[in-house]
Structure 1
């Protein structure tokens, strides 16, 4: 049995058979570039598969060595990969700069860090395993741009229209490009070192040759925009790095801008951190102890059992323990099915996260109904669940050797849960007024009641809804 067949057999023990069949077909039949930095969401959409089950399958596949997982910092402007690493620990800079966009960005896990999957070289060797062997077009497609750029089928033809000239320059070598500058904005761009030189070409055409010298090194400083006239240009290039570089001259016109606007959904680090399968598989190896990574919007849900102490006294330790365990199992299943993850349990309480408020609201309503069903089965009101939800910015951190979250949003969510009585769901205005969450509540025929209230330990008053 071949290596890939062995690993696929292992994968079938933990992932959906239909998805494993699709992965097997991909590994066997797909062209090389489709096996590099796979976009799990695009994979699911193209084949009509469930996104969360596809994500779970790829996570299990990466864990057993079928794929390699990559965490890539993206430029929000052009979609280029500014940094790539094998784990989230590689995202360790306070700012990432994109020379192509001439802008710097504080990294956030919402839309600036993607997670992709590349087939392992021991399963199938592809060209991207040796990026320095890729021609410029394929380097741009497979290495420079992230999986959120929806590149056209005629990508190579489009590049030929955009690129005026290009050269492959080995380490330590020099080269000269001679070309005619059009009366357009032009960029001399090198994707390996991320170097760029802007040239604003305008004015009367000239027959006199203009000259430009560029030294390519690892620091790739942002150069000031040069003003030149349409006409002949001689570019002297020197490669001071220890690897091959791919300098080229681009016309920054409508074709380039249109191509960069073609986007598609991709698997963000935020979504993966709120995925239960990921937390189960990678619980101790996500962030370094001193990392603090920003998430601009995450939904937190806290639950607690009302009267759990009385429950132990009333039914005895053994029965109460089994009841509480069953309650935890039900809640975790609901959280996972709503694309969320249980961060931790504290006593009889649960802290969970969701990528968006609508999933948090849906989970809360399902939790309440599930507890009602458990109570009906027992014929007693033993499990009375209090639920609080809030959404906002936070920091992803490591606390007590596990991936956790820190910030005022977490504090508020916990305090909102403290307002709830039995069977109550309390949620802040940012949750209830979220369009998709509001639609879920309306579909259920519920009428939330708004109140302005103080939260324990917090100075400000907050707008909180009680969902009956």
Structure 2
């Protein structure tokens, strides 16, 4: 935290008061302290999961608070396309609707990636300038290394001030800032190593494979920056002097660094921490409630490589209405939905939709879905209603359907069909759920032994292995 608090406008304080009405008070207090006392870098691209861990706060309550804070204009939400290798931000978007390209290229890693919402899209939160202006609001004024830390790299990259400075000293041969139209010459001594000339602003790179016998002859290389973000290839050179000519033909500055791509750089880039993924936020109930009709464009089809689906339905609701009357039955069904929604929220899930007495919910991982199913069953035990539950995990597409966020694919269909197998309080789940290590530990701790069955599911040609959890 900063030594002295920063003044926050009265309008922003009023919005924090509104935030306290819809989010956990302790979480809001921590966020407001951050806005008033945090150093500038701490308010840029806030990693909500790291924030929750550092303040010993519930993750889902923190996510809900930041989502509401974004809606109120206290923080700006950013959906950042990441390189899975180096953790660099390949593209930053104000909304998920802007993620429409089918492929993203990392010039530093020389790799193409198809965007998925699991680990390639980071969601971060930056304080709004009306609350407090920070240096990252003017990225063109940041120093090269502050730009690398605050703009190029994601919140999943671990920065320790001392170790980062040590890495810079060890891996950087030289660096320079070039204004638009500027040209310069760097005189370097090439080591026998793989060298990368990289600019994080234009995402452009030139590789130099330095090998062979050292030379005293001066070697020449020219790099020109334009608006084409790309890797320009690899050239072979010998250890020794290099005259590197750099020319900036763009309308913005470039920040060229000459890096030794050795063990020190790879070790630094290999240190990653958990960050808030798009998939994780999509399974947050607060986000579902606020953005479910505004998350995607109607023409978007975004891939998720792994999502857990839970389908539930009531057994005996029709007979209940006949037996106790509409008013009493309605209250019982409402209580059922309340219990189910609470179970879903407690396990970091989100209710996507309800259809009659049926519920469709999503969870980031299989053990979360299984734990929610067990909570649901326990909540309705001994009552007039029995809940039938099915679980499945796998890949899917996030889409807009009927003007709201929804999911499409075989995984969704299988989860619904598996739920249809349940006829009692037993939970039916597929192999990817039951055999997931964390889910298996939950079952073992509860003394539950799943019984393997072979079932025929509509739309599935072959017999399908499912487990009944008694």
Distance 1:8 1:221 in 2: 43
For residues 48-447 of structure 1, the aligned pairs below 5 Å read 48-154=56-162, 155-373=164-382, 375=383, 382-447=384-449
Distance 2:286 2:63 in 1: 9
Specify which of 449, 452, 457 is matched with residue 455 of structure 1.
457
Superposed displacement of residue 142, structure 1: 0.2
Summarize deviations over 1:85-142 as a string: whole Å, max 9, x none.
0111121111111010011111111111010000000111111101111110000000
1:88·1:287 contact (CA, 8 Å) conserved in 2? yes
Return 5+ residue gaps in structure 2 as ranges. Answer: 1-8
1:113·1:269 contact (CA, 8 Å) conserved in 2? yes
Distance 1:309 1:242 in 2: 68
Superposed displacement of residue 430, structure 1: 0.8
Superposed displacement of residue 63, structure 1: 1.1
Match of 2:3 in 1: none
Distance 2:333 2:275 in 1: 37
Specify which of 2, 10, 13 is matched with residue 18 of structure 2.
10
2:104·2:113 contact (CA, 8 Å) conserved in 1? yes
1:56·1:278 contact (CA, 8 Å) conserved in 2? yes
Return 5+ residue gaps in structure 1 as ranges. Answer: 376-381
Distance 1:4 1:181 in 2: 52
Superposed displacement of residue 151, structure 1: 1.5
Distance 1:184 1:438 in 2: 47
Q: Secondary structure at the match of 1:225?
A: strand
Superposed displacement of residue 339, structure 1: 0.1
1:193·1:245 contact (CA, 8 Å) conserved in 2? yes
Bigger drift between 69-78 and 177-186 goes to 177-186
Distance 2:292 2:190 in 1: 54
Distance 1:221 1:189 in 2: 10
Q: Secondary structure at the match of 1:25?
A: helix
Q: Secondary structure at the match of 2:177?
A: coil
1:137·1:156 contact (CA, 8 Å) conserved in 2? no
Q: Secondary structure at the match of 2:54?
A: helix
Superposed displacement of residue 192, structure 1: 0.5
1:35·1:119 contact (CA, 8 Å) conserved in 2? yes
Answer yes or no: is 1:28 the counterpart of 2:36: yes
Distance 1:272 1:221 in 2: 31
Number of matched pairs? 461
Distance 2:142 2:171 in 1: 19
Superposed displacement of residue 334, structure 1: 0.9
Distance 2:458 2:144 in 1: 59
Instruction: Write out the 4+ residue segments of structure 1 that deviate beyond 4 Å after TM superposition.
Output: none
2:108·2:231 contact (CA, 8 Å) conserved in 1? no
* TM-score normalised over the length of structure 1: 0.97
Q: Secondary structure at the match of 2:381?
A: helix
* TM-score normalised over the length of structure 2: 0.96
Match of 2:4 in 1: none
Superposed displacement of residue 329, structure 1: 1.4
Distance 1:61 1:412 in 2: 37
Summarize deviations over 1:35-69 as a string: whole Å, max 9, x none.
10000111111121111111111111111111000
Q: Secondary structure at the match of 1:12?
A: helix
Q: Secondary structure at the match of 1:295?
A: strand
Distance 2:135 2:170 in 1: 25
